[in-house]
A = this chain, B = another copy of it.
Amino acid sequence: MEIQPLPRRRGRPPRQGEPRQDTREQLLRAGVASLTEKGFVATGIDEVLRSVGVPKGSFYHYFASKEAFGAELIDRYGAYFAKKLERHLADETLPAHLDRLRAFIADAQAGMARHDYRRGCLIGNLGQETGALPAAYSNRLNAVFADWQARVAACLKRAQANGEIAAQVDCERQAAFFWIGWEGAVLRAKLERRPRPLEIFVEAFFAGLQQR
């Protein structure tokens, strides 16, 4: 008695009920999950496809190559957090701008907790792999950091204008410091599988903002 492994017919499948919602989107989601956990090099296309139950042949219908796939992931991830940042930093229900930044941080922390501290930051992860990545990635990654940093800097400046931060603070520099340290904290939190590094960094960051 042979076990029939559900022999999927080849060719475009008939749409049954759900029109197999956006395979491309699913691939991208699975890609983010894998890249944040293991990085670009360690992530295999096959593996991404398997996790979504999509056959290999489909991949190159949606993406030109693994490199193109990764590039899109970087852009999407950058845009996703830019949006998240903006949502919090423009939250009128919080009068203090620093509290808005804190809200974003809490959101990000919750995100790490939700995945049991197994996933890091896609941008930071790929940053580490620089030496093994397509050359074009570096600029993309730096651009994302520059964008995120600019948004935080703008927030700090508004806080400064609001009297929440002393006038002599260099907001641009502090924003740079924030992302430098935050990425380090995410890295450690992932390695230790717990939120402590995030908490330590955040506490120290805001303490440093106050007195100088």
Contact = CB atoms under 8 A, between A and B. Distances in A.
Nearest to A36: B131
Contacts of A1: none
A6 interface: no
Interface stretch (A80-88, A102-110, A186-194): A186-194
Interface string A192-204: 1100010011001
A41 interface: yes
Interface string A135-174: 0001001100100000000000000000000000000011
Contacts of A211: 211-212
Nearest to A173: B200
B128 A125 contact: yes
Report which residue of A39, A141, A179, A181 has the largest number of chain B beta carbons within 10 angstroms of its beta carbon: A181
Interface residues of A, number: 45
Given A41-B39, A132-B38, A142 B191 contact: yes
Nearest to A198: B180
Interface centre among A141, A176, A183 (most CB of B within 10 A): A183
A123 to B, nearest CB: 9
A79 to B, nearest CB: 19
26 contacts: A37-B132, A38-B41, A38-B129, A38-B131, A39-B39, A39-B41, A39-B128, A39-B131, A41-B41, A41-B42, A120-B128, A124-B128, A127-B188, A128-B129, A130-B190, A142-B192, A145-B191, A177-B201, A180-B181, A181-B184, A182-B184, A183-B184, A184-B184, A184-B185, A207-B208, A207-B212
Interface of A: 37-39, 41-42, 118-120, 124-125, 127-132, 138, 141-142, 145, 173-174, 176-177, 179-185, 187-188, 190-193, 197, 200-201, 204, 207-208, 211-212
Given A39-B41, A41-B42, A180-B184, 13 more contacts: A37-B131, A39-B132, A127-B187, A127-B190, A142-B192, A145-B188, A176-B197, A180-B200, A181-B201, A183-B188, A184-B187, A207-B212, A211-B211
